Amino acid sequence: MMLSEIRDELLAQHEQLRALAMDALAKADRARGGGDDGWAALVESLARLSAASSAHIVHEERLLGQVLPTIDAWGERRAALMDERHRDEHRAIGEALALARTHTRRLEVIRLVGDAVRALRDHMAREEQEILHEDVLRDDIGAIDSAGG
């Protein structure tokens, strides 16, 4: 798989994650003043975001894990930052989802959803500049076999 193809695929997933994150944020706003139906919709939306985020992280790390450290002089640092940010992102979304499922401390959950969505969007924006930018992930650097790593 060419690096430009990896970049395009991961950027498309980022757009899907942004849409899911915005849906969760909208559901949190509605749940703030609503009843249990609004809360159930929020929990469902957070579950979709969490699952999509987890799948994206696994896929991204599979595609970039071996090639990223070799891209340039900052490759190893880029890979370490990606891993660190993925752990933080997964923790934030998971924390909001776990607390939302308890149906308690609703205002705290709504705050956590907002924090998680902001962190996710910030992470993707940084990643798109530091890792997925066409000046970084370029075909003239090399290519990897997506089946073999």
Residue 59 has phi, psi (to 5 degrees) of -65, -45
Query: Which of 60, 65, 116, 120 lies closest to 93, judged by CA?
Result: 116
Query: What is the domain partition of the chain in residue ranges?
Result: 3-130
Nearest to 124 by CA among 101, 103, 93: 93
pLDDT at position 35: 66
Burial of 62 (0-12, 13-18, 19+ CB in 10 A): exposed
Label residue 147 by pLDDT band (50, 70, 90). Answer: very low
| 112-133: pLDDT as tens digits | 899 889 988 988 998 899 888 9
- The 10s digit of each residue's pLDDT in 20-41 is 999 999 999 888 876 667 888 9
User: What's the CATH code, domain 3-130?
Assistant: 1.20.120
